[in-house]
Amino acid sequence: MGLHTNGLSLEVVGREITGRPVQGRPRRPAGPYLLGLPALLLSCLLLIPIGVTVVTAFRTDGGFGLGNFAVMGDPSALHAVGNSLLWMLVAFGTVGVGFLLALLSYRLPAVTTFLQPALVIPFAVSILVSGATFRLIFDPTPERGTITAVSTRLFGSSPVWLGPGLFWLVLVSAFGWTWLGYVVSLFRTGLDAIPDDVTRAITAEGVRGWRRVRALEIPLLRPITGVITLTLVIAAVRVFDLVLIVVPGSMQRSADVLGLNWWRATTTGGDSGRTAALGVVLFAIVAAVGLIGVRGLRRRRWAMPVTVVRPDPSLARPKPTRVVRRFGWFIGFAVALVWIFPAVVLVATALHSPREAGLHGWWSFSGLGFSSFGAAANVGLFRALLSTLVIAAAATAVLLVIAVPTAYLVAWGGLPTRLGRIAMGVFVVLAVTPVQMYAAPLRDAIDTAGLAGSRVALALVHAAAGLPFAVLLLRSAFASAPPALVSEALQGPARQSAVLATVQRTYRPALVAVAVLEFALVWNDFIVGFLISGPGTTPLSLVLWGEARQFSTSSGPVAAAAVVASVVPVVLMLSFWRIVVRGLTTGSRP
């Protein structure tokens, strides 16, 4: 009984609240709302054009109506919708394969040694580069295309890989090559976060093999599976540049996806209402996927389980025996070799002279040299490099300055619950919005403002497009602060900086992840620059694309440009990959 202190028992009583209940609502400090102002202004860059597009889509000659959506009855549009749905299946397949690979590397830890970097490199290079690489590999002439050459040697003849129907194989392998590294790394982090004692306990119960995967790993990985599936499905629905570069022009109609269909309608001068309707349909699909996917991933559940106490090393998983380790290395090495092969092809092609690269495959020894790089430099590669650097750096800086306070506001600024949820919903929808949704009005606005070809405008658009994802990621990092401290900070005694200090362990990796991913994304970007900027900015990918139009004659310079363009993101990703993954799965490690 009582409170014993300093040699005395004291009776301490609390205080009740009595009398008539006071009318009114909780008062929240208004200051933090200012933190969201820059984000609001930046988001307007997207929100207003999106609004314009939606209005255009619903406006017909005789007022408002659904007349424009008749465009969906068009067979080519229907075909595009079907292809987009197929791409979603491809995304699910990639997630499944990635999960199996992650499981393999978890059971055989030695696999990771070689496999990890090999998987990261494709994720770092742009879709355009991976598309160009796969086009090189699958080239229909046996003198140049690796796969064609191999199958001709083996079976005497070879199908035309880039022909009708078969180009899907090329497309899917390019997509999988790019994304599998991301999937495997995230799943692997999730698997590593499963406490060993749980695994051991469930194994001791006699639950092994597939039953263990179903009983333990799949349910525990559900949140992270949600994040991964969401990313991949959205990437699949937004596929645009891959088809543009891989599929030869004559067959592009049959490979049509919604984004491409939209682009063709705008460039051929179609009715703006109809193209807007196409954009809205694409947007509706993606937004629905995004909202459904994120619904289950509210604040607490997005974060991985946090290990508070570092586990006793003697209780950790036993190190595999030497033989198993050797075996793991071997498998890892073999898979890594296969995985790195497209990059080898790319570099080898770049090291041939333009003429030789056009005539022979990457394996021939004639015409080795740096003349392809010289040819690429002649078409303005280095100016584009500089331009891209400026744009990417500016976009990343603007993004960080604006996203951090906004994420803090959303996580702990004391927003009313409903407003917070609405803000999150808007961010999720914005994060998945396809560029087609705002490209046309934004380009018109930039042209009208006389900013066509301005790097600043492009950087701002990039920052605005990256903002929602950055806020979502940083918010889940901030959300790991103890609630008691936060409520103190909101109401008085503690300072907000104290809250920041407690979450720095989780928000620093998230910050690095945001910065690295945004930089790489802007660096590799094709679609925003292609659809929005004028000719003056010349980012790298536009130069690449311009060259790739005459693919068969200019494969040397294209490969050289692709190599140069990929060096920076690959180095960046390889050096920060561990932190990036940690930031993406906030708080999975102590």
Which tokens sit at 403?
Answer: 């996203």
- By CB under 8 A, tell whether 16 contacts another protein: yes
- By CB under 8 A, tell whether 30 contacts another protein: no
Closest CA to 424 of 288, 298, 292, 286: 298
Which tokens sit at 322?
Answer: 């030497």
Which tokens sit at 350?
Answer: 């770049």
- By CB under 8 A, tell whether 10 contacts another protein: yes
Which tokens sit at 448?
Answer: 């009208």
- 2 vs 318, which CB is nearer to another protein? 2
Minimum separation from the CB atom of position 585 to another protein (A): 25
Q: Stretches 4-12, 48-56, 215-223, 436-444: which one binds another protein (CB under 8 A)?
A: 4-12
Minimum separation from the CB atom of position 506 to another protein (A): 16
- 5 vs 321, which CB is nearer to another protein? 5
Return the amino acid letter for 355.
R
Closest CA to 525 of 535, 538, 510: 538
Among 307, 491, 504, 550, binds another protein (CB under 8 A): 491
Q: Stretches 121-129, 140-148, 177-185, 481-489: which one binds another protein (CB under 8 A)?
A: 481-489
Minimum separation from the CB atom of position 425 to another protein (A): 22
Q: Are the C-beta atoms of 354 and 556 separated by less than 8 Å?
A: yes
SS (H, E, C) 515-541: HHHHHHHHHHCCHHHHHCCCCCCCCHH
Minimum separation from the CB atom of position 537 to another protein (A): 40
Minimum separation from the CB atom of position 478 to another protein (A): 17
Tally of CA atoms within 13 A in the half-sphere of 206 that contains its CB: 0
Exposure string of 177-187, with b = 16+ CB inside 10 Å and e = fewer, is bbbbbbbbbbb
- By CB under 8 A, tell whether 89 contacts another protein: no
Closest CA to 45 of 433, 394, 526: 433
- By CB under 8 A, tell whether 308 contacts another protein: no
Which tokens sit at 552?
Answer: 């068969």
Phi then psi for residue 4, to 5 deg, are -100, 120
Among 389, 397, 490, 579, binds another protein (CB under 8 A): 490
- By CB under 8 A, tell whether 26 contacts another protein: yes
Minimum separation from the CB atom of position 59 to another protein (A): 15
Among 400, 498, 574, 579, binds another protein (CB under 8 A): 498
- 35 vs 500, which CB is nearer to another protein? 500
- From residue 195, alpha-carbon distances to 191, 317, 376, 449, 553 in Å are 9, 10, 51, 56, 55
- By CB under 8 A, tell whether 323 contacts another protein: no
- 13 vs 323, which CB is nearer to another protein? 13
Minimum separation from the CB atom of position 2 to another protein (A): 5
Return the amino acid letter for 49.
P
Q: How many residues bind another protein (CB under 8 A)?
A: 42
Minimum separation from the CB atom of position 588 to another protein (A): 22
- 62 vs 73, which CB is nearer to another protein? 62
Tokens 């679609």 belong to which residue? 527
- 73 vs 492, which CB is nearer to another protein? 492
Which tokens sit at 344?
Answer: 């080898």
- By CB under 8 A, tell whether 6 contacts another protein: yes
Residue 338, H or E segment: helix 322-350
- By CB under 8 A, tell whether 393 contacts another protein: no
Distance CA 504, CA 510 (A): 10
- 29 vs 96, which CB is nearer to another protein? 29
Angle (CA) 103 185 178, round 5°? 110
Q: Stretches 346-354, 491-499, 507-515, 539-547: which one binds another protein (CB under 8 A)?
A: 491-499
Which tokens sit at 587?
Answer: 């708080």
- By CB under 8 A, tell whether 3 contacts another protein: yes
Distance CA 241, CA 527 (A): 7
- 27 vs 322, which CB is nearer to another protein? 27
- By CB under 8 A, tell whether 12 contacts another protein: yes
- By CB under 8 A, tell whether 20 contacts another protein: yes
Tokens 């599998």 belong to which residue? 180
- 321 vs 417, which CB is nearer to another protein? 417
Q: Stretches 7-15, 108-116, 145-153, 564-572: which one binds another protein (CB under 8 A)?
A: 7-15
Site for another protein in 398-457 (CB under 8 A): 414
Which tokens sit at 380?
Answer: 């303005």
- 342 vs 414, which CB is nearer to another protein? 414
- By CB under 8 A, tell whether 267 contacts another protein: no
Return the amino acid letter for 382.
F
- By CB under 8 A, tell whether 63 contacts another protein: no
Distance CA 134, CA 397 (A): 33
- By CB under 8 A, tell whether 306 contacts another protein: no
- By CB under 8 A, tell whether 488 contacts another protein: yes
Exposure string of 84-93, with b = 16+ CB inside 10 Å and e = fewer, is beebbebbee
- By CB under 8 A, tell whether 154 contacts another protein: no
Give the chain's radius of gyration (CA, Å).
27
- By CB under 8 A, tell whether 14 contacts another protein: yes
Residue 200, H or E segment: helix 196-204
- 487 vs 552, which CB is nearer to another protein? 487
- From residue 96, alpha-carbon distances to 91, 186, 187, 282 in Å are 9, 13, 11, 25
- 9 vs 268, which CB is nearer to another protein? 9
- 22 vs 154, which CB is nearer to another protein? 22
Among 76, 307, 487, 575, binds another protein (CB under 8 A): 487
Among 89, 501, 567, 571, binds another protein (CB under 8 A): 501
H helical segments located in 479-495: 483-491
The residues pairing with 64 across neighbouring beta strands, listed in sequence order, are 59
Angle (CA) 414 420 424, round 5°? 140
Tokens 């030789």 belong to which residue? 356
- By CB under 8 A, tell whether 62 contacts another protein: no
- 307 vs 366, which CB is nearer to another protein? 307
- By CB under 8 A, tell whether 22 contacts another protein: yes
Binding site for another protein (CB under 8 A): 1-27, 414, 483-485, 487-488, 490-495, 497-498, 501
